[in-house]
Structure 1
Amino acid sequence: MTKFDYIIVGGGSAGCVLANRLTEDKATNVCLIETGPKDKNPLIHIPAMYAFLRGANLIYEYDTVPQKNFSDVTLAEGPAKISDTFGRTYSVPQSYEEKRKGYQPRGKVLGGSSSVNGMLYVRGHKWDYDHWAELGNEGWSFKDVLPYFKKSENNEVFSDDLHGQGGPLNVAAQRHDNPFTRFFVEAGSKVHKLNNDFNGDDQEGVGIYQVTQKNGLRCSSAVAYLNPIKDRENLTIFTDTTVEKIEFEKLRAKSVKCISKDKYFSLEANKEIILSGGAYGSPTLLMRSGIGDKDFLASRHIECLVDLKGVGENLQDHLDYITTHRVDDWELLGSFFKSLKFTFRAPIEFMKLIFQRNGMFTSPLAEGGAFIKSSKDKEIPDIQLHFVVAMVEDHGRQDLWGNGFSCHMCLLRPESRGTVKIASKDPFEDPLIDPNYLSVQSDIDTMVDGYKRMMEIMNTEPLSNYKNIRNPIDINNDQAIVNALRERSDTIYHPVGTCKMGNDEMAVVDSELRVKGVENLRVVDASIMPTLVGGNTNAPSMMIGEKAADMIRNSK
């Protein structure tokens, strides 16, 4: 059996950070295992092309279970056979109704979701990390985590006490100056204050996002942390490899059982096994390995090694609603061959990308943003906006003719809590994901207020000049807004919390990210977040990887 000091399961945002930092010690031997392929597909690296990654086998295209607080949808089945009184048989279509499912795409490639996301560099609010510390997680206040954000960062724009230079992750200003994004900021600044740095002293306000790009190309965790060091002699990388389960010697994590191209093999860890599979991958691997709720594991015919009730619980996600506006303008993106303006402009923009490293294809699409309060009595922003220079509906899966723009409104700190569970022992079967969206009335109330705050901006000049809204809602009718939320809201791709850090009976890891009840096993990814941060989760996941690397090295 091949042996390593550390085995990292998951080559995503945190896993690539760990691979880099742990192999800085030449005496330490590290193995990184990723289910997906290497990050060689050019669609990954051209920023705007992430909108066209479906079908490229770089994404887990999960669905949630039907959400009980979403609206009903009619689903078609195959034809049914019926017979008439004369014995003749006919085929008739069948349909049935169930609650709408949500969509849960996750990265399946080196770099994980950082290789397929919108590249926005957002840390969340300092309150979020101070709250983690108040919950009993020593060492996780904003003062404690800021050095790790700065360690990871090379900020081209800001050089101050809150930003870092010289880190692997390049953070830059956008290279595409879109007039409609400027219209959004101009309109928003008439209602809210301007903010040129959402990671500065104050998060609140309207502005333009910084992006994880370098020279106009995506800077994922693989690009930033892994590719520069992938030839280190003390690093071994397995891609296209699935880990079926962790194998234990008594209560000590000893090895992982892997599957690659229908071949089974095991890899042994002398020191630690580290799970970095994200909010869905890490808890489901723990369950398959016998760590989780005893009664649930029994229902899946898995012997329980440690009865850890919180595995797969505490799922939190940013629920999001999009308003889409049809605008016939050259400056806005559209689908290839469904927008003549974009189709004719695309070759010119590709030339700009290749020779100047700027233009439309360097756009993160969600160019403008805002952190605002749903009501004046809120202490900190509880709503985030993403202004997108394209029409987006159903995660881009609905092809729309022509050009336009969209604006996302997402709930930053939902009270709703959900679960993720394995469907069976089979590691290739999709997990059962239940975010339990809109299960708490306060989430609905806040999103209704958030929709009104968003539309206040959209109805302010100069954006108010573009009134062709695809799904108009009476802003004075709260029930109409609630109905729209149930019909069309969905994730903005930030699931966390399913292996939460803490001291209560539902905690899975301690403040050193060690899995409770066993030895030599940690979880290092967004699943350890006890509560969801007020912003995008990619930068915080890399911070977690940086901080965990120091914890691991200091625990020798």
Structure 2
Amino acid sequence: MNMSLFDYIVIGAGSAGSLLANRLSADKTKTVLLVEAGGPDDYVWIHIPVGYLYCIDNPRTDWRFRTEPDRGLNGRKLIYPRGKTLGGCSSINGMIYMRGQARDYDTWATLVDNPEWTWENALKDFMAHESYYKLDPEVQASLNGRASEIAKVHASGGEWRVEKQRLRWEILDAFAQAAQQAGIQAIDDFNTGDNHGVGYFDVTQKAGWRWNTPKAFLRPIKDVRTNLTIWTHSLVKKLIIDRNPDGSLRCTGAEIVRDGELVTVKAAREVILSAGSIGSPTILQHSGIGPARHLKKFGIDIVQDTPGVGANLQDHLQVRAVWKIQHAKTLNVLASGMVGKARIALEYALHRSGPMSMAPSQLGAFAKSDPSQKYANLEYHVQPLSLEAFGQPLHTFPAFTASVCNVNPTSRGTVLIKSANFEDAPAISPNYLSTAEDQKVAVDSLRLTRRIAQQPALAKYLPEEYKPGRQYESDADLTKLAGDIGTTIFHPVGTVRMGRLADPMVVLDSHLRVRGIAGLRVVDASVMPRITSGNTSAPTMMIAEKAAHWIRAGI
């Protein structure tokens, strides 16, 4: 086999790319190259759930991006983690399995004029790779005949494992009761199409270990499918775009730096960009596909003026409120000192449970920022711990953190290259809190958090607001505070969006093909026209499942 020629080249081995490589290589008559800029997922902290603390902002596993100074954050810059390893963000994320709301996908279908994106049709693709714990034979016996109802929205036997968390916390149970007292009903499944409610998140773990996409989609096949080639430590310099005699354009391959050498690879059928909401627009721009006025600043030859490449950046900004408490243990206390850490390590070693098995956030809630909202527009990530900022030590006092984000932000940002050097990080400008709507939701969300904390279920813990602090009461104060303490929840989407091609800012058609360039498709979170109402990993995998059907069918 000529190793420089493949039927399909998939760029990026993250949540979308790993699944795509699995599905496309199932056809033994087609050769697939999967290209990953990072290394293998052989770092131990990738696989221990609490290891996200050691993977984020680690050059071994993270691109270590930084945002530009953001006016909505009062001039602050944020770390902007993106996975740089096999599995991409599935190897460093919070492991929360969350599809969003049915209305998200029905809205997509309308925006792109394609019913294949409706919730009803998306649900089939979520279920195509799912292995849901409640449908395990040993669990079904305890469901009192509900298995058939659960099987309408979940599946068993797929590669992607979804499990119940392996620990609970007294203070989180009390927060859930307080949320109910504040008018947020209990929910036992966030993934049926309406996630309004409070409950513990389901997680992408297996027997206490992180379950990432290489484990699910690559390891079982990499030694038996000779038609699949996986390259790590391989950085794409640019795509190769040829102009046909009739003037039309076609993507025929890519230039890749591998082991210090520039290698050219060709695709007989398609090149599929799955490099994520930061990587995909960056690669397109370095290939001459993007806003021409911007690219010309760096002397890049313009292949196609596509102004929407790098536009429409959306993200979930979380506002972290911290409450000191009494009369209950939190991780701040349990993990203090060598003895406490040793106990936690021993529990994980013996039982794969305890704090080392926990996702960054255990309890979730979806709520309305005010009663006029038609749908739940807030998501809470509640944690039995507190710290000043990510990467800093836990506080020495017992506390919980209630982070809340607007799941339907109206602010839009950009991802734009800063030089002609393909190795340079782009300028990431989320433009948080740039609309009056987003500012109002941020203020309302902080007030709702305070209302929950004042409920009887939390009274015995004597909650005391540590951050932002009760001295801040006015709308103006709370808006500024949201900018001071808000941070990304790591959900960038939309920078290579699909839509109706009559819109000049649309980059992709409804089947994710790049407008005006044959043989080139984008399949990752960047394609979303609007961000989903919840965490974005599961929707990204659904997108890849759907795209795989189209690619194999020649659509």
Residue 140 of structure 2 corresponds to which residue in structure 1? none
Q: CA deviation at 1:542?
A: 0.6
Match of 1:91 in 2: none
* From 13, 26, 38, the counterpart of 1:11: 13
Report what 1:108 is aligned to.
84
Q: How does 1:281-300 map to 2 (within 5 A)?
A: 281-300=279-298
Structure 2 Cα separation of the partners of residues 361 and 28 of structure 1 = 42
Contact residue 330 and residue 341 of structure 1 kept, 8 A: no
1:526 and 2:525 equivalent? Answer: yes
Q: CA deviation at 1:474?
A: 4.2
Report how far residue 402 of structure 1 moved. 4.9
Matched with 1:453 is 448
Aligned to 1:74: none
Report how far residue 345 of structure 1 moved.
2.5
1:23 corresponds to which of 22, 25, 44: 25
Partner of 2:366, secondary structure, is: strand
Structure 2 Cα separation of the partners of residues 455 and 225 of structure 1:
43
The range that moved more, 200-209 or 521-530, is 200-209
1:92-123, Cα deviation, whole Å (9 max, x unpaired): xxxxxxx2112211111111111101100000
Q: Does 1:199 align with 2:191?
A: yes
Counterpart residue type for residue 206 of structure 2? K
Name structure 1 gaps, 5 residues minimum.
72-98
* Alpha-carbon distance in 2 for matches of 1:514, 1:396: 39
1:180-224 C-alpha deviation (Å, 9 max, x unpaired): 221221211212110111112531111110000111111112221
| Counterparts of residues 281-320 of structure 1 (less than 5 Å) | 281-320=279-318
- The corresponding residue for 1:179 is 170
User: How big is the shift at 1:377?
Assistant: 1.3
Q: Separation in 1 of the partners of 2:236 and 2:211?
A: 27
Q: What is residue 542 of structure 2 aligned with on the other side? A: 543
Other structure's SS at 2:220 match: helix
**Aligned equivalents of 1:303 and 1:312: distance in 2?**
17
Identity within the alignment, %: 37
Q: 1:461 to 1:228 in 2, by over 3 A?
A: farther
- Cα deviation for residue 260 of structure 1 reads 2.5
My pick for the range that moved more, 117-126 or 247-256, is 247-256
Deviation per CA, 1:258-300: give whole Å up to 9, x if none: 1133221111111110000111100010000010111111112
Gaps of 5+ in 2: 136-149, 244-248
Choose the corresponding residue for 1:498, options 470, 477, 495: 495
Deviations 1:419-473, CA, capped at 9 Å, x for gaps = 1001112122111011111111110001111111122112223334243433213
1:234 is aligned to 2:231: no
State the partner residue of 1:189: 180
Bigger drift between 400-409 and 428-437 goes to 400-409
Distance 1:11 1:554 in 2: 22
Report the CA distance shift for 1:56/1:243 in structure 2 as closer, same or farther (over 3 A).
closer
Q: Indicate conservation of the 8 Å contact 1:29/1:235, yes or no.
A: yes
Q: Which moved more, 1:159-168 or 1:117-126?
A: 159-168
Contact persistence 2:178–2:457 (CA under 8 A) = yes
Find the aligned partners of 1:52 and 1:461 in 2 and give their Cα distance. 37
Are the equivalent residues in 1 in contact too, given 2:36–2:235 (CA < 8 A)? Answer: yes
The equivalent of 1:80 in structure 2 is none
- Call closer, same or farther: CA 1:167–1:475 in 2, change over 3 Å: farther
8 Å contact 1:365–1:390 — kept in the other structure?
Answer: no
Counterparts of 1:201 and 1:533 in 2: how far apart (Å)?
11
In 2 relative to 1, CA 190–342 (structure 1 residues): closer, same or farther, beyond 3 Å? farther
State the shift of 1:3 in Å: 0.9
**Aligned counterparts, 1:104-183, within 5 A:** 104-138=80-114, 139-157=116-134, 159-183=150-174
Q: CA deviation at 1:475?
A: 6.4
Structure 1 position 252 matched with structure 2 position 250? yes
TM-score, normalization by structure 1: 0.91
Q: Give 1:399 shift.
A: 5.7
Q: Residue 7 of structure 1 contacts residue 269 of structure 1 at CA under 8 Å; is this kept in 2?
A: yes
Alignment of 1:76-95 (within 5 A): none
Contact 1:333 1:342 in 2 (8 A): no
- Match of residue 81 from structure 1: none
Provide the secondary structure at the position in 1 that maps to 2:331.
Answer: coil
Asked if structure 2 preserves the Cα contact closer than 8 Å seen for 1:452 and 1:475, the reply is: no
1:2 pairs with 4, 8, 12, which one? 4
The separation in 2 between residues aligned to 1:55 and 1:505, in whole angstroms, is 38
Q: 1:327 to 1:44 in 2, by over 3 A?
A: farther
Bigger mean CA offset, 536-545 vs 426-435: 426-435
Once structures 1 and 2 are overlaid, which stretch shifts more, 174-183 or 440-449? 174-183
Written as runs of structure 1 = structure 2, the 5 A alignment for 1:62-77 is 62-71=65-74
Distance in 1 (alpha carbons) for counterparts of 2:535 and 2:354: 24
State the Cα distance separating 1:49 from its structure 2 match.
1.9
* Alpha-carbon RMSD: 1.8
Comparing 189-198 with 324-333, greater Cα deviation is found at 324-333
* CA distance 1:340–1:320, shift in 2 (3 Å): closer
In the superposition, the TM-score normalised over structure 2's length comes to 0.91
SS state of the match for residue 395, structure 1? coil
Distance in structure 2 (CA, Å) of the matches to 1:51 and 1:101 = 20
Residues 331-380 of structure 1 deviation map (CA, whole Å, 9 limit, x = unaligned): 4224xxx9763642332332332332222211113000100001111111
Residues 219 and 137 (structure 1), Cα distance of their counterparts in 2 relative to 1, 3 Å cut: farther
